[in-house]
A and B are shown apart, each in its own frame.
Chain A
């Protein structure tokens, strides 16, 4: 009996009443064929169609007997697995249930993962890394980045959602976002911003006056006082007119 191993070729000449036993393990594949021979000259004999007797086996494990063929001839077993465990189904569409891939996986075609209610997890431990670096710009949406393991971020453009512009209604405002616009009302020197993104007094609020013409009296932002959920923004003087300010909240 021939036990199939990757890349193996077996050839054996047998009598008319002898078959050829094949033991094919899981994940190997190949072909066994028979060519009748002239018992005296050893030359191939018979018609071409007779010489075409063959059988494929694998990739499932199987044991079988090929023959006897009723004629003297040569049995040839060719394993077309390129190495142990490799199955070449290049031209096939394959549907798998659960797949466990213990070696390297290379995908040279498109990869689509868009099913509902299932998750992808790329979290190699140890020295494993994840690299995302397409030649053509791709997109990342709806993801929180660095929440537990912050890294370095570098952008050629940086945008923070302009949550709200309340400068048309000067005075205190509630804007629950990372960036906003509001106004210190004429006659006031400060304004209170209520914002849930000030998660603690350790949050920061960076503020700049944002208008084309300087106010006659409130000409700069002097300081802020951040507490949980709010920041009081102070100008240097009582404003003559409404003073529009831009701010960003950083937690």
Chain B
């Protein structure tokens, strides 16, 4: 410098370097991370009226695989891009309308209804039966066999309805379990 004076070395944080705030609570406004982000502490996202979006494009994937069982609630799964679903237990929302035999409406994926005495069929109205291509599985569920209607013979589906046919007119009310798969 050709003069007496002080030399100062300043670490420019924008250059490739490590910045250690590991013992600091950092509060950010808007954050943009362009490199890899590794979180070793807990991660909480519970604020009202804001959304999280994990939708990497290209070859990016999302893996959720905790060692201890976690939970996913209040989410529609596979609505636009379906994958494989594999479970060790299956539960479907349930409605029991068997106390009022005859045609009935419920919009849950599973339910119970009854073919009324004297009838050989029953009509279920269900919004999950989105077309004739929807499958409805029906099976009699009662301890004692009816004298005449002893089994379900067939099911005919149309948009929003399924007609469930027994083999004969029922002597008494016959309880039937139903599962809808769209």
Contact = CB atoms under 8 A, between A and B. Distances in A.
Interface of A: 27, 29, 47, 49-50, 55-56, 59, 84-113, 115-116, 118-161, 163, 177-178, 197, 202, 204-207, 220-226, 232, 234, 236, 248-251
Contact of A105 (B31, B35, B150): B31
Contacts of B86: 158-161
Which 7 interchain pairs have the tightest Cβ spacing?
A149-B74, A223-B140, A149-B73, A126-B48, A138-B62, A126-B49, A156-B82
Interface string B5-31: 000101011111111111111111111
Given A101-B31, A154-B79, A206-B137, A91 B15 contact: yes
Given A134-B60, A226-B141, A202 B45 contact: no
A182 to B, nearest CB: 16
Contacts of A101: 27-29, 31
Given A202-B96, A223-B142, A138 B80 contact: no
B64 A55 contact: no
A90 to B, nearest CB: 6
Given A97-B25, A122-B52, A147-B73, A222 B47 contact: no
A250 B111 CA distance: 11
How many chain B residues sit at the interface, stated as a range, is: 35 or more
A128 B48 CA distance: 6
A113 B62 CA distance: 11
B72 A144 contact: yes
B150 A109 contact: no
Contacts of B76: 151-154
B42 to A, nearest CB: 5
A56 to B, nearest CB: 4
Contact of A89 (B19, B27, B49, B56): B19
A54 B42 CA distance: 41
B55 A121 contact: no
Contacts of B69: 142-144
A112 B55 contact: no
A166 B116 CA distance: 37
Contacts of B110: 204, 250
14 contacts: A95-B20, A96-B24, A106-B31, A106-B33, A107-B33, A109-B35, A133-B53, A133-B54, A142-B66, A148-B73, A151-B75, A161-B87, A177-B89, A224-B140
